[in-house]
Chains A and B, each alone.
Chain A
Amino acid sequence: MNDFLLFAAGFILLTVAAGLFRVLRGPGDADRMMAAQLLGTGGIASLLLIASATTVAGVEDVALGLALLAAFASVAFVNGVATDDEQPQEAGGK
């Protein structure tokens, strides 16, 4: 059972690595941001699987921290994009 969990964690990381290819090829910066968010969530999923498979302490807390920080990356990106567009005030006002 444990090796199935580790296999699933490895598989998820592989799919996320394939998804990261979008960062290289992505036409817009929004696509690069999506790949980064997928990396965050894939990282959380594999961390949780590893936490359940091994007896290493604190891995779930790392996943919790990553869950917190992954959201900030997207928000920072959106704020960055919105301010340098044609309606900086309107975006800032909301």
Chain B
Amino acid sequence: MNFALDLFSIAAIAAGAFFFFAGSVGLLRFPDSLTRLHALSKADNLGLGLVVLGLLPRVGSLLDALKLLAIWALVLLSGAASAQLIGRALRRRGGDE
């Protein structure tokens, strides 16, 4: 059982790291500010979400698990809100310079 949990953790954390990598590459390679914003918010939410998912079975007590989920929910909300705000600021300034 323990081995299966470790395997799940490794798979989820590897997927999370891949999304971070994909987001960073997207941030560097995409031609347009708004598309970069798209790539960035993917890396934020999915990368961190999968890392937290991978860490959940390794956690000691229920409180730690709740703390991890609280961190993820906070980043999810703040990431989505700030992505919308940045998008609006870009839209207002005529966007993609």
Contacts and interface: CB of A to CB of B under 8 A. Distances in A.
B17 A11 contact: yes
B55 A1 contact: no
Given A12-B17, A35-B27, A64 B71 contact: yes
A85 B88 CA distance: 12
A15 B21 contact: yes
Contact of B47 (A31, A45, A68): A45
Contacts of B52: 48
Interface in B46-73: 47-48, 51-52, 55, 58-59, 64, 67-68, 70-71
Contacts, number: 140
A58 B21 CA distance: 27
Contact of A41 (B36, B43, B55, B86): B43
A42 B23 CA distance: 11
Contacts of B85: 74-75, 78
Contacts of B89: 30, 77-78, 81-82
Assign chain B's interface to a size class.
Answer: 35 or more
Contacts of A16: 20, 24
Given A45-B47, A49-B55, 5 more contacts: A30-B33, A38-B40, A41-B43, A44-B75, A64-B70
Interface of B: 6, 9-10, 13-14, 16-17, 20-21, 23-25, 27-28, 33, 36-37, 40, 43-44, 47-48, 51-52, 55, 58-59, 64, 67-68, 70-71, 74-75, 78-79, 81-82, 85-86, 88-90, 92-93, 97
Interface of A: 1, 4-5, 8, 11-12, 15-16, 18-19, 21-22, 27-28, 30-31, 33-35, 37-38, 41-42, 44-45, 48-49, 52, 60, 63-64, 67-68, 70-71, 74-75, 77-78, 81-82, 85, 87, 91
